[in-house]
Amino acid sequence: VPEVEKVRRQNKRGQGLRLREDIVAAAAALLEETGSEDAITLRGLARKVGVSAPAIYGHFGDVDEILAAVVSEAFDELDTALRAAERAAEDPSEGAAEPRTAVRAVCAAYLDFARRRPQRYRVMFGRHRTHEGGAMTDRRPAGALLGAAAFDRLLGAVARTTGHPSAASRPGADTFTDATALWVALHGYASLRASVPAFPWPEDDTMLETLIGRLLDGKPSPAAGRP
């Protein structure tokens, strides 16, 4: 028997790789529907996909692997959304109509994602990662970097407006600190807005104007109409 290159066999009746996708999609749906990670069970997913429970072991060894796939996919989605928002904001005038337009667009897209996929957003950023194993096991490098991709979008948008006049008045500012402060505020707002809906939150636009104005441009509150 000569050594033969293993060839990917054609998917059986459309299934095959599709089952994997179906499982991840079902997990995401289950998460958003129930609002709880522990509603995601092997048997529950199998039921939802319409397959027997052991069939899942062909694609995932673990229910945690499935949740990890959901999270990974969600991070891709977030990155795509931020990218699209940035492109759309920069597109029409080619130059810079207003210095903060792109930053504002990216931030708005971030908040929009968190609102559209609340449970996925919560799992992406709301789970405490205990650095299991002392100093730096680096067992899940991808997991640690996932959030960084979204941050880099934000950082890029902020950096691209550094040369603008509004930045000149803030000689001590540095881009990384700016982006960090902005991310922290965005996440805080997105998270609390979902957790404490009873709070009298302002509109997204108002909140964004406040945060960007103060954190990046050193401007005071956007004249909320108080005497």
Q: Give the residues lining the site for DNA (CB under 7 A).
A: 6-7, 9-13, 15-16, 19, 41-44, 51-55, 57-59, 62-63
* Residue with Cβ nearer a second copy (19 or 146): 146
Q: If binding means CB under 8 A, how many residues of this protein chain bind a second copy?
A: 57
- Determine how many CB atoms are found less than 10 A away from the CB of residue 193: 17
Tell me: does residue 189 bind a second copy (CB under 8 A): yes
- Angle at alpha carbon of residue 72, lines to 194 and 150, rounded to 5°: 65
* CA 92, 95, 100, 105 torsion-angle sign: positive
What would the 3-class secondary structure string for 64-102 be? HHHHHHHHHHHHHHHHHHHHHHHHHHHCCCCCCCCCCHH
Q: What distances in angstroms separate CA 75 from CA 69, 90, 205, one per listed residue?
A: 10, 23, 24
Task: Tell me how far, at minimum, the Cβ of 4 lies from a second copy, in Å.
Answer: 43
* Residue with Cβ nearer DNA (40 or 82): 40
Tell me: does residue 4 bind a second copy (CB under 8 A): no
- Contact set with a second copy (CB under 8 A): 35, 38, 118-119, 122, 125-131, 144-145, 147-148, 151, 169-174, 177-178, 180-181, 183-189, 191-192, 194-199, 201-202, 207, 210-211, 214-215, 218-224, 226
